[in-house]
Amino acid sequence: MNRYVRVWVAALALCFSACSSLPPVQDRMASTAFTDTAHTRLGLALAPALAQHAGKTGVHALADPRDAFVARAVLAAMADRSIDVQYYIWRGDEAGTMLFEALWEAAQRGVRVRLLLDDHNTGGLDPTLAALDAHPNIQVRLYNPVGQRAVRAINYLTDFSRVNRRMHNKSFTVDNQMSVVGGRNIGDEYFGAGRGMVFADLDVTLVGAAVQQVSLEFDTYWNSASAYCAADLLGRGTAADVQALQARFSANRSSQEAKDYLEAVRASPLARRLLDRTFAFEWTTARILWDDPAKTLGTEARRDDLMFPRLIQSLGRPDKRLDIVSPYFVPGEQGTASLSAMARRGVEVRILTNSLASSDASVVHAGYARRRADLLRGGVRIYELKPTAVEARDNDRGIGSSASTGLHAKTMAVDGERIFVGSFNLDPRSLLLNTEMGVVLESPRLAQALSAGFATTVPGVSYEVRLGEDGFNLVWIEQTPDGPKTHTTEPGTTWLQRTGVTVLSVLPIEWLL
């Protein structure tokens, strides 16, 4: 269910009072990350660098979508003891099926696999998840599950206040030695597979001190009151389910699209560096941030346990520059005032978000559009990604690679010194409803790369939004080979799209976005 549909379901939900029923959380064994993994292949390979950089975190940015797939696939293949995986979305498409198979193959080698998925987006995957869970070395848990699985929209009518809160966290950790954290979910559009849209996104690979923090975050969610054993919801996977899953693996692997994609993946420089053990890290200080999973239960999470206040504290007060990349940017009245005040005291505030033409959530665009003019009057500079952006495959650009695409990266940098990469959007949903996670890095290299991207890459792949000469209407400036081109309406959109956004922007739905 996308955000647009969710808003209208919320309105209908006021007419219903019954609740979807869930089974009691029973016979659920608590478990934690393995700590004795120094003698795994990853542990031995990383030991010299970890000893040289004691207490530090090694970080490598994954902006290219194929590199992001390679990192996960190669890590799964290198696993000796454990794989801990936590995602908001895991699609059963080409890339998703290949990574499901990577987990299965690791389990076949005796690796313990713990798979924690938010249940909002698992529609159609119940047989696959039941079959995975049937493997003795794979445990599947569903976070904040829906009670009515056949017609999922009913849950939003009968139990809206609960199921409207989702686990948006994203991490992939192997042997408690290496983690991938960032904005990507699992699916073709996140890894440049298939023939559809590709999201411009950003992950980071982490080793060292921060990995133990990621594992602690995973354990906290895995053992939380909102994580249900898959078998309690789906039933026990049967031999027929397992056979069907293996047949699906084989068919997916044999498809021409998968063969073409894997051939391209093998050509990835990152694949060679991983296999040759010449993968380079920047060693720095890192802090993993996450929401208390009690946030999912409503009022049980204290403000001190929420991620956003700690994110602001960790990034620090900007003195010179604040660069924000957020695909779903809904600053609200307070955020608009804060960013404008910052710009007025001399801080350069720059924002990259989706244009209406590139957004996959026009209802969210409505929440942003109503604040756009006030932000510009306050001195904030705004860029909106074009729906067909120029491809950029440099990992140090910091904003993610882009093709025919929408923006999905969530990152921000302060004063060219510190940078955040994670799942957190600057919108009310991330702030108040969903759980989130990410990492703050003391990395001038990555922070300055993001800032440099605003000066070099961003103007060519986006429209800069400005106030018109009347100080009221907006214009969109596009850089073209023939010079700047001015648009007086949102480029690449129809009258109907713009009218819909205008109508939505006046409705009292900002808290849902």
Q: Measuring CA to CA, which residue among 401, 330, 346, 408 is closest to residue 378?
A: 346
Query: Distance (Å, rounded) from C-alpha 297 to C-alpha 285?
Result: 32
DSSP state of 302: -
Q: Measuring CA to CA, which residue among 43, 47, 120 is closest to residue 87?
A: 120
Which of 80, 126, 159, 175 is an active site residue?
175
Query: Distance (Å, rounded) from C-alpha 171 to C-alpha 178?
Result: 10
Q: Is 175 a catalytic residue?
A: yes
Q: Is 410 a catalytic residue?
A: yes
Q: Does an H or E element contain 2, and which?
A: none
Q: Is 60 a catalytic residue?
A: no
Which of 170, 295, 365, 386 is an active site residue?
170
Which of 126, 203, 410, 427 is an active site residue?
410
Q: What SS3 state is found at 185?
A: coil
| DSSP-derived secondary structure for 39-79 | TSHHHHHHHHHHHHTTT-EEEEEE-SHHHHHHHHHHHHHH-
Which of 56, 60, 120, 168 is an active site residue?
168
Q: Where are the alpha helices (DSSP H) in 425-494?
A: 428, 444-456, 458-461
Q: Where are the alpha helices (DSSP H) in 147-238?
A: 153-158, 160-163, 188-191, 209-222, 230-234
Q: Is 487 a catalytic residue?
A: no
Q: Is 168 a catalytic residue?
A: yes
Q: Measuring CA to CA, which residue among 297, 288, 365 is closest to residue 326?
A: 365
Q: Is 56 a catalytic residue?
A: no
Task: Spell 134-172 as b/e; 16+ CB within 10 A means b.
Answer: bbebbbbbbbbbbbbbeebebbbbbbbebbbbbbbbbbb
Which of 118, 323, 415, 427 is an active site residue?
415
CA 73 to each of CA 96, 165, 174: distance values in angstroms, whole numbers, following the listed order: 11, 30, 11
E-state strands within 426-502:
437-442, 462-467, 474-480, 483-487
Could you give the residue numbers annotated as active site?
168, 170, 175, 408, 410, 415
